[in-house]
């Protein structure tokens, strides 16, 4: 299709999330306390995550733990989650058919970003952002019965592969966005998937290494562009004939 669809009749999203990593002059405990208080007052329930039991010096020294959340806030009446660590915050909408559409999700992200800059921290710098959509392609809903009906080909030694695959690749967009597409047959994916899932398309747009933002508008502008790149990567894999059936007129 020549233009990106604005809305689908039945989207494939099983989780959408945005993670923001930052540095601040405030003590980590102060940031987490302010954030917890802010969203509890907004109707979220706070849960302490198991990783919080690992001493802070050990978490900071391990690159795999440094940005992991220690507190989770769950919306009382809804699918939204907010996870907070000492240098990171993420917002999630999880569940089959729970994604509210980009207009609503963008407004929710705007609230998180503005709260981060105005209510939770002082002298903050954002150095990494990731916008990620995990899509489960279901045979009966999305008109794709076989993994290899998606728009891609992989050949080894001149022979096209036709069995289950797990394919990851990066594409750089402009100077501040890197698009990572993870395309997998259901047999490679752990966790619960909808019945008759023929493929999982996981698209994550992340910042380049030199990224730095010191205000909410710059972060939101990056997220807006990231969403366009995410949609472009996703729809590049969907045949035109299938898109025509899925697009809401």
**pTM of structure:** 0.93
Q: Per DSSP, what are the bridge partners of residue 197?
A: 138
Say how many Å lie between the first and final Cα of the chain, rounded.
Answer: 14
Cα torsion angle, 224, 229, 233, 236, sign: positive
CA 70 to chain CA mean position, Å: 19
- Cα 201–204–208 angle (5° rounding)? 150
Q: 131 φ, ψ to 5°?
A: -115, 125
CA-to-CA distance for 103 and 100, rounded, in angstroms?
8
pLDDT, tens digit, 9 for 90 and up, residues 89-131: 999 999 999 999 999 999 999 999 999 998 888 889 999 999 9
pLDDT, tens digit, 9 for 90 and up, residues 4-38: 877 788 899 999 999 999 999 888 888 899 999 99
Q: How confident is the model at residue 2 (pLDDT cuts 50, 70, 90)?
A: low
pLDDT confidence of residue 249: 61
Q: Per DSSP, what are the bridge partners of residue 213?
A: 126
């Amino acid at each position: 299709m020549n233009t990106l669809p604005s809305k689908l009749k039945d989207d494939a999203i099983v989780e959408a999330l945005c993670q923001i990593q930052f540095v601040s002059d405030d003590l980590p405990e102060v940031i987490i306390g302010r954030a917890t208080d802010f969203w509890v007052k907004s109707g979220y329930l706070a849960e302490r995550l198991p990783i919080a039991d690992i001493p802070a010096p050990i978490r900071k020294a391990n690159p795999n733990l440094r940005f992991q959340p220690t507190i989770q806030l769950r919306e009382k009446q809804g699918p939204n989650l907010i996870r907070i660590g000492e240098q990171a915050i993420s917002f999630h909408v999880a569940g089959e058919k729970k994604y509210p559409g980009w207009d609503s999700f963008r407004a929710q992200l705007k609230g998180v970003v503005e709260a981060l800059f105005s209510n939770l921290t002082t002298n903050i710098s954002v150095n990494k952002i990731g916008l990620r959509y995990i899509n489960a392609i279901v045979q009966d809903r999305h008109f794709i019965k076989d993994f290899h009906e998606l728009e891609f080909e992989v050949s080894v030694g001149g022979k096209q592969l036709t069995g289950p695959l797990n394919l990851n690749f990066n594409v750089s967009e402009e100077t501040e966005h890197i698009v990572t597409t993870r395309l997998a047959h259901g047999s490679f994916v752990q966790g619960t998937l909808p019945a008759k899932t023929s493929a999982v398309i996981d698209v994550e747009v992340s910042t380049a290494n030199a990224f730095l933002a010191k205000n909410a508008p710059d972060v939101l502008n990056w997220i807006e562009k990231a969403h366009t790149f995410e949609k472009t990567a996703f729809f590049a894999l969907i045949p035109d004939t299938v898109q025509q059936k899925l697009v809401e007129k």
